[in-house]
Structure 1
Amino acid sequence: MPQLNPSPWFAILIFSWVTFLIVIPPKIMGHTFPNDPSPQNTAKPKTGSWHWPWQ
């Protein structure tokens, strides 16, 4: 019965992982995003005490 012989299925497993780990990541990382995020303003906003009219 061929499903009990591990040699062809082990080779298929190894070649599929090689494909996933070597071939596919550069293709995915090669894509560019249409809008690159711009850095936010690093200055802290001015904080002050709140005026509560009921106190």
Structure 2
Amino acid sequence: MPQLNPHPWFLILLLTWATTMLIFLTKTLNSKHLNHLMPSSLQMKTPPSWTWPWF
């Protein structure tokens, strides 16, 4: 049985890992900016009172 040269397989593994990490990094950085903070003037000062509907 012939021996496989590990050098090209290591390069393929390294490039695959780097590509996957780059994709995850861009997804992570893009998802951090989805939630925008509201200015304090638009936020409600006190929440409305709440009761159980059957009481």
Q: Shared topology, TM-score over 0.5?
A: no
* Greater gyration radius: 1
TM-score by length of 1: 0.42
TM-score by length of 2: 0.42
